[in-house]
Amino acid sequence: MHRTAIVDLLERYPRLSAVKVLRKLREAHGDLSVSDRSARRYIKELKETVTLKQARYYEPVVDMQPGVQCQVDGGELRGVMIGGEERTVYLMVFVLSYSRLLYVAASPRPIDTAALIGMHDAAFRAFGGRPQECVYDQTRLVVL
């Protein structure tokens, strides 16, 4: 199989899923002469034995003052079992930049602007106040 290409991809992107590795291989090399299941198993084995993990870079915010900034980011979890049924849960995460205090709001439906405003209110109540500014990773809901 295309071991060198797979190892190169995994060294650059250690969290790349087997499905995405296969997609990139097919884009670069065309159809593969192996089943998807065998390829995923092989990639999993390579991930466990060959790849080097990327070092996580973290630099603390040293000039931040309490009460100044809150970082807000949305996300979703797919395949969550609720009442015996697989569902998607939509999340909004609020993190105070100075203290790193965290608040997570969840919704069974995609988050719209009204829900986002309610989630802000709940987060600020949980924090015991509001920061001077919020920094958003995804601004689509905020712009609306």
Q: Strand, coil or helix: what is 128?
A: coil
Instruction: Give me the pLDDT at residue 59, please.
Output: 53
The average pLDDT across 107-135 equals 93
Query: Rounded distance, CA 77 to CA 87, Å?
Result: 8
How much is the pLDDT for 144?
Answer: 59
pLDDT at 58 (0 to 100): 52
Query: How far is it, in rounded angstroms, from Cα 52 to Cα 15?
Result: 11
Mean pLDDT of the chain: 83
Structure-model confidence comparison of residues 26 and 115, the more confident one = 115
- How far is CA 98 from each of CA 19, 47, 67, 105, 121, rounded to the nearest angstrom? 38, 36, 8, 20, 19
Q: What is the pLDDT of residue 55?
A: 54
Condensed to tens digits (0 to 9), the pLDDT of residues 49-106 reads 764 555 555 555 556 788 889 999 998 898 889 899 999 999 999 999 888 899 999 9
The CA distance from 112 to 86, in Å, is 22
**104 and 127 in contact (C-beta within 8 Å)?**
no
The pLDDT score that the predictor gives to residue 126 is 96
**Residue 1 — very low, low, confident or very high, per pLDDT cuts 50/70/90?**
low
82 burial via Cβ count (<10 Å: 0-12, 13-18, 19+) = exposed
Q: Output the pLDDT for position 40.
A: 84
pLDDT value of residue 63 = 63
| pLDDT value of residue 102 | 94
The closest of 37, 47, 35 to 6, measured between CA atoms, is: 47
What per-residue confidence (pLDDT) applies to 61? 54
